[in-house]
A and B are shown apart, each in its own frame.
Chain A
Amino acid sequence: MKKNLRVLSYPYTVWMAIFIVVPLFLILFYSLTKGDIHNISSLEFSLESYKKVLEPLYLKVIRDSFLLALVSTMICLVLGYPVALIIANTDHKYRNLLLMLFLVPMWMNFLLRTYAWMSLLSPNGLINRFLTMIGLPRLEIMPGKVAVLLGMVYNFLPFMVLPIYTVLSKIDKHVLEASSDLGGNRLVTFMKIILPLSIPGVVSGITMVFLPAVSTFVISGLLGGGKTPLIGDLIEQQFLFSRNWHFGSSLSIILMVMILISMAVMSRIDKNNQDEGGKAK
Chain B
Amino acid sequence: MKKFLTCMIIVTVLFTMLVLLTGCSSKVVINVYNWGDYIDETLIDEFEKVTGIRVNYKTYSTNEELLAKMEAGGSSFDVVFPSDYAVSELIKRDMLIPLNFDNIPNYKYVDERFKGKEYDPEDKYSVPYFWGTIGILYNKDMVEDPVDSWDILWNQKYKGQILMKKDVRDTMGVALKKLGYSMNSTDDSELAEAKAILSAQSPLVIGYYGDEIRDLIANGDAAMGVTYSGDAMDLYWEGFENIDYAVPKEGTNIWYDTMVIPKSCKHKEEAEKFINFMLDPDVAYRNVEAIGYTSPNSEVLKRIEQKYPEVFELPAFWPDDEILSKSEVYLDLGDHKSKYNDIFTQILAE
A contacts, CB < 8 Å to B = 1, 4, 7-8, 11, 37-38, 57-58, 60-61, 118-119, 122-125, 140, 143, 221-222, 224-227, 229, 233-234, 237, 239-244
| In the complex, chain B residues whose CB is within 8 Å of the CB of A122 | 216, 219, 221
**Whole-angstrom CA separation of A145 from B338 in the bound complex:** 28
| In the complex, chain A residues whose CB is within 8 Å of the CB of B10 | none
A38 contact from B71, B202, B206, B344, Cβ within 8 A = B71
Query: Do B207 and A4 touch across chains, with their CB atoms under 8 A apart?
Result: no
- Within the complex, the shortest CB–CB distance from B157 to chain A, in Å, comes to 16
| In the complex, chain B residues whose CB is within 8 Å of the CB of A224 | 207
A sample of 19 inter-chain contacts (CB < 8 A) reads A58-B349, A123-B222, A124-B219, A124-B220, A124-B221, A226-B348, A227-B202, A227-B205, A237-B348, A240-B64, A240-B68, A241-B64, A241-B68, A242-B344, A242-B345, A243-B64, A243-B67, A243-B71, A243-B337
Indicate the member of B6, B160, B206 with the most A CB atoms within 10 Å. Answer: B206
Query: Do B206 and A123 touch across chains, with their CB atoms under 8 A apart?
Result: yes
- Within the complex, the shortest CB–CB distance from A173 to chain B, in Å, comes to 42
Query: Do B208 and A4 touch across chains, with their CB atoms under 8 A apart?
Result: no
**Whole-angstrom CA separation of A1 from B2 in the bound complex:** 9
**Whole-angstrom CA separation of A218 from B219 in the bound complex:** 21
Indicate the member of A140, A225, A237 with the most B CB atoms within 10 Å. Answer: A225
Does B22 sit at the interface, judged by CB under 8 A?
no
- Within the complex, the shortest CB–CB distance from B255 to chain A, in Å, comes to 17
A123 contact from B62, B221, B348, Cβ within 8 A = B221
| In the complex, chain A residues whose CB is within 8 Å of the CB of B220 | 123-124
- Within the complex, the shortest CB–CB distance from A217 to chain B, in Å, comes to 12
Asked whether A226 and B216 contact (CB < 8 A) given A4-B5, A243-B64, the answer is no
Query: Do A4 and B1 touch across chains, with their CB atoms under 8 A apart?
Result: yes
Total cross-chain contacts (CB, 8 A): 85
| In the complex, chain B residues whose CB is within 8 Å of the CB of A244 | 338, 341
Asked whether A240 and B221 contact (CB < 8 A) given A225-B209, A226-B209, the answer is no
Query: Do A227 and B65 touch across chains, with their CB atoms under 8 A apart?
Result: no
Query: Do A143 and B206 touch across chains, with their CB atoms under 8 A apart?
Result: yes
| In the complex, chain B residues whose CB is within 8 Å of the CB of A143 | 206-207
| In the complex, chain B residues whose CB is within 8 Å of the CB of A4 | 1-2, 5
Query: Do B212 and A1 touch across chains, with their CB atoms under 8 A apart?
Result: no
Query: Do A242 and B341 touch across chains, with their CB atoms under 8 A apart?
Result: yes
**Whole-angstrom CA separation of A269 from B348 in the bound complex:** 37
| In the complex, chain A residues whose CB is within 8 Å of the CB of B222 | 123
- Within the complex, the shortest CB–CB distance from A153 to chain B, in Å, comes to 20
Chain B, residues 320-338, CB within 8 Å of chain A (1/0): the string is 0000000000000000011
- Within the complex, the shortest CB–CB distance from B108 to chain A, in Å, comes to 37
| In the complex, chain B residues whose CB is within 8 Å of the CB of A225 | 205-209
Indicate the member of A37, A143, A224, A239 with the most B CB atoms within 10 Å. Answer: A143
* Nearest CB in chain A to that of B220: its residue: A124
The list of the 8 closest CB pairs from A to B, nearest first, reads A225-B207, A226-B208, A242-B341, A124-B220, A241-B64, A143-B207, A122-B221, A4-B1
Query: Do A243 and B68 touch across chains, with their CB atoms under 8 A apart?
Result: yes
Chain B, residues 214-241, CB within 8 Å of chain A (1/0): the string is 0010011110000000000000000000
B64 contact from A7, A11, A229, A242, Cβ within 8 A = A242
Does B166 sit at the interface, judged by CB under 8 A?
yes
**Whole-angstrom CA separation of A234 from B222 in the bound complex:** 25
Query: Do B68 and A239 touch across chains, with their CB atoms under 8 A apart?
Result: yes
**Whole-angstrom CA separation of A58 from B342 in the bound complex:** 12
| In the complex, chain A residues whose CB is within 8 Å of the CB of B212 | 118, 222
- Within the complex, the shortest CB–CB distance from B276 to chain A, in Å, comes to 31
